[in-house]
Structure 1
Amino acid sequence: MNEYAHIIYQKTARILTVGCGLLFAIFSFVYLYVFQRDSLEALHYSLAQGRTHFAPMASALVITLILILLRWGINSLLGLKGKVRTLSYLPSFFILWALTDISHDVYLSSSVSPWHWLLPLLILLFVLPAFWLRKTFRAELNVEGSLIGLVNSNVGILFLLCLLTVFIGNTNRSFHHELSAEHALLTRNYNQAVKVGYRSLEATRTLTALRALALSHTGQMGDKLFEYPQYYHSEGLFFDDDSLSVLRYTNDSVYQHLGSRPYNGEDHLSFLRRICYKESGKFTALDYYLSALLLEKDVNEFAATLKDLYEPADTLPRYYKEALAIYADRYQTDDLAGKVDSLLITRYQDYKEKKKQFTSPTEERNRMRREYGDTYWWYFDYQH
């Protein structure tokens, strides 16, 4: 290779080194700050036991800087050149994998992540063979070949490592929604909590319970509960007892919010009824109980509870009115006259007429969801 070609090759190699470093920095920051921010916050909370504040942008920047410095340190030791230069980023990617490959057991003190031993082992298994291979193939690495081959090989290695990082990190959308809603609740940003996954038809029981808790804090349970999918009936107001299905919030959080706890063996519906009628809970318990009755589609008991416990002068939330429209239509009663306005009754009649226009149950369910999917009527008739 002549001197001019040698100079061009060296300049290209330096530009490639800087370019790959920039690409890695952008990927690492965006991946940590945008896509894995909730996972990073959960890991920080678990490691710090909630004693320090989490700053997502600063954390992503600091981690990215450390990973870049690690890459320079690794390559100073190994001296990788040519087409395999970007392999020196591998230990940095190992750390990214360890930081973002988390699951529901992240908060459990008994949880032992395999990354505790896997991360140092992987770094050791990379450094030692790479150091030996670098000495063995020193001459081959110093050969200046095709510029296109140099660029394609290094960029290709970096791209594959980025792709592998995305596959290894936790990308479960429902899990990230849970983490995001939970973090918003912890910081008392209740309005943000209810916005998490707003347009998604997926909803785990944990996310459903977190939303209910956030809606209760904002006083919007009766107005917004059925804007979200409700797949768990009244149990969706409470968390699962399985410690591997919940995160930082558990049923103890709900009981504290309601101001009372159930007796041993007492089911949640009976518990809510007891504390409402005995007035042994907080004011938040009434909306929980009324919502639980709606989720169980017990409009008869709902109407009776409303007459017993709701102040007559109070304006009813949206879904309470929609439930009363069903109750009045089913039982042909005007016991709650004045609680439901004529416009809502007219819309409910239109809803019933619209249902008769379809011959296919599947088409009926889907078409009615488009127009009435955020109503209690749709939940009452179509959600099993």
Structure 2
Amino acid sequence: MSDYTNAFYKKTARIMIAVCGLLFSLFSFVYLYVFQRDVLEALHFSLAHGKTTFAPMASALVITLILLLLRWGVNSLLGLKGRVRALAYVPSFLVLCALTDVGRGVYISDYHTPWTWLLPLLVLLFVEIGYWLRGVFRVQLNHEGSLWGLVNSNLAILLGLCLLTVCVGSTNRQFHHELEAEHYLRAGEYDKVLRVGEKSLEASRTLTAYRAVALSHLGKMGDKLFAYPQYYRSDGLFFETDSLHTLRYTNDSIYYLLGARPYTGEDRMVFLRNICYKGTGKYTSLDYYLSALLLEKKLDSFAQAVPDFYLPEDTLPRYYREALVMYHVQRNDTVSSRADSLTLDRFKAYQTLQQKEGSPLEERNRMRREFGDTYWWYYDYQE
């Protein structure tokens, strides 16, 4: 190989090192700051026990810098060259996997992850195998091959490691939605809580409870509750008792919002009714009680409760009006004066569309497209 070719090869190799470093830095920062930001915050909270403030951008930058230094140390140790130089990033990518492979158990007090022992083991195995391969392929590593082979091989290794990291890291969309909603709830940004996953028909019980809390703070539970999927009836207003599912919020935070907590073993519906009628709860408890009745499809109890808490001249929230219209139509009663003409006209359109021929599934989907954000659809079609 001529001196010119040799110099050009070395120059290309140096450029390749810089390009790989830049690509890794971009991937690491974007992956941590954009795609795994909520997971990283949850892990930080768990490890720091909530005693320090999480700075997402600074954290992503610092971690990326540390991983670059780790790559430099690994390459200095193993002396990887040529087509396999990018393998020096393997430990750095393993650290990214360990940081982002987080599940709902992250907030448990005795939380532990297999990565605690798996990460050191994998790094140690990589170093040992790297030493062995360096001895076996010493001649090949020192041989200057084609430039295209140098570029393609290193880029392929880097791409493969990126894909592996994405596959191993947390990709549970519902979990990410829960973490994002929780972040905004803690920050008091209730409108942003409602925008999390708003276009999706998927909704975990935790996310459903977060939305209810946000709506309660905004005073919009009676106007917007059924604009979001409700799969858990009145249970969706509360968190599960299992800490694996409730993240940082628990039902204690909801009881604080309501201004009272139930006795041990007390039924939640009875609890909500008692604090409303006895006046021991905050004003937020009324929306929780009336919404719980609607979620359980107890129209009789709902219709009886409304006059107890609202004056005839009061304007009812949207879903309360819709429920009363359905209640009176079902019983062939005179429709309540609380119902406005727009609600009545829309309910007539709902009934008309309901009469069209089609299978039960076709009818359900057709009605969802037109009236999926109404209480009527929930009452008739949500199981």
Unaligned regions of 5+ residues in structure 1, if any? Answer: none
1:168-206 per-position Cα deviation (integer Å, ceiling 9, x unaligned):
001000000000111111111111111110000001111
CA distance in 2: counterparts of 1:247 and 1:310, whole angstroms: 36
CA distance in 2: counterparts of 1:66 and 1:112, whole angstroms: 23
Contact 2:324 2:336 in 1 (8 A): no
Aligned residues between the structures: 383
Out of 2-11 and 12-21, give the one that drifted further.
Answer: 2-11
Structural mapping, 1:1-384, within 5 Å: 1-334=1-334, 337-384=336-383
Please report how far the alpha carbon of residue 284 of structure 1 lies from its aligned counterpart in structure 2 after TM superposition. Answer: 0.5
Q: What percentage of aligned pairs have identical amino acids?
A: 64
1:192-234 per-position Cα deviation (integer Å, ceiling 9, x unaligned):
1111100000011111111111111111111111111000001
CA distance in 1: counterparts of 2:333 and 2:271, whole angstroms: 29
Out of 97-106 and 238-247, give the one that drifted further.
Answer: 238-247
Out of 194-203 and 105-114, give the one that drifted further.
Answer: 105-114
CA distance in 2: counterparts of 1:46 and 1:206, whole angstroms: 19
Q: Kindly provide the amino acid, as one letter, of the partner of residue 355 in structure 1.
A: Q
CA distance in 1: counterparts of 2:29 and 2:157, whole angstroms: 19
Please report how far the alpha carbon of residue 296 of structure 1 lies from its aligned counterpart in structure 2 after TM superposition. Answer: 0.8
Out of 20-29 and 109-118, give the one that drifted further.
Answer: 109-118
CA distance in 1: counterparts of 2:317 and 2:219, whole angstroms: 10
SS in 2 for 1:333: coil
1:336-375 per-position Cα deviation (integer Å, ceiling 9, x unaligned):
7321111211110111011111322111111111111111
1:68-116 per-position Cα deviation (integer Å, ceiling 9, x unaligned):
1111121112111011100000110011001000011101111211111
Please report how far the alpha carbon of residue 129 of structure 1 lies from its aligned counterpart in structure 2 after TM superposition. Answer: 2.7
1:31-53 per-position Cα deviation (integer Å, ceiling 9, x unaligned):
11111011011011111111222
SS in 2 for 1:245: helix
CA distance in 1: counterparts of 2:129 and 2:176, whole angstroms: 37
CA distance in 2: counterparts of 1:337 and 1:370, whole angstroms: 27
CA RMSD of aligned residues (A): 1.3
Unaligned regions of 5+ residues in structure 2, if any? Answer: none
Q: Point out 4+ residue stretches in structure 1 off by more than 6 angstroms.
A: none
Contact 2:328 2:336 in 1 (8 A): no
SS in 2 for 1:65: helix
CA distance in 2: counterparts of 1:311 and 1:289, whole angstroms: 17
Please report how far the alpha carbon of residue 136 of structure 1 lies from its aligned counterpart in structure 2 after TM superposition. Answer: 4.1
CA distance in 2: counterparts of 1:350 and 1:141, whole angstroms: 75
For normalisation by structure 2, the TM-score amounts to: 0.97
Please report how far the alpha carbon of residue 244 of structure 1 lies from its aligned counterpart in structure 2 after TM superposition. Answer: 1.6
CA distance in 1: counterparts of 2:50 and 2:190, whole angstroms: 19
